[in-house]
Structures are given as C-alpha cells and as structure tokens.
Amino acid sequence: MNQPRGTVVIDTERCKGCELCIEACPPDVLVMSTEVNETGYRYPLLQSGCTGCTACRMVCPDQVFEVYRFDARGA
C-alpha cells in the first residue's frame, strides 16, 4: 500500500458547500459530509490517499484548505 504524500486541513465552518473541490481532486479523496456546519452547509471530508497536489486549495472560493506535503526523505 502506498504511503500518503500529503494531507489537507479543512476549515469546515468557513465552507459554503460548493463542491468544487470534490470535482477538482485528482486522487478522488474528498467526499461531502452528511452533516452541516454552523451556517447550514455540508462540507468536504478527507479520505486517505491525499497527494498534497493543492487542486482543492486552488479552486476553493472560500479558501478553506491548508495543504501539507510530507517530506519524502523521511525523518
């Protein structure tokens, strides 16, 4: 099994549920929640397999994504 190459932190309370990130995600690791945030919008959840490609961050109009890439050299 491949090791994840990155991850994202999602500010779910700022998300307005547009789902642009879901369509933009090349590894297809974002899914919409069934729950809603404080303003009533569903938000994306991260599944395993993130590559840290930044596609979600680039398309997000609400800037809810912080993308981190793991050091391939290890610690």
Domain ranges of the chain: 6-66
Assigned fold of 6-66:
Alpha-Beta Plaits (3.30.70)
pLDDT for the residue numbered 70: 85
CA 5 to CA 2: how far, in whole Å?
A: 9
Given a cut of 90, whether residue 14 has pLDDT beyond it is yes
Q: Which residue has the higher pLDDT, 48 or 5?
A: 48
Closest Cα to residue 64, out of 5, 39, 3, 72? 39
Q: Residue 21 carries which side chain, given as an amino acid letter? A: C
54, 7 contact by CB (below 8 A): no
Q: Is the pLDDT of residue 1 over 50?
A: no
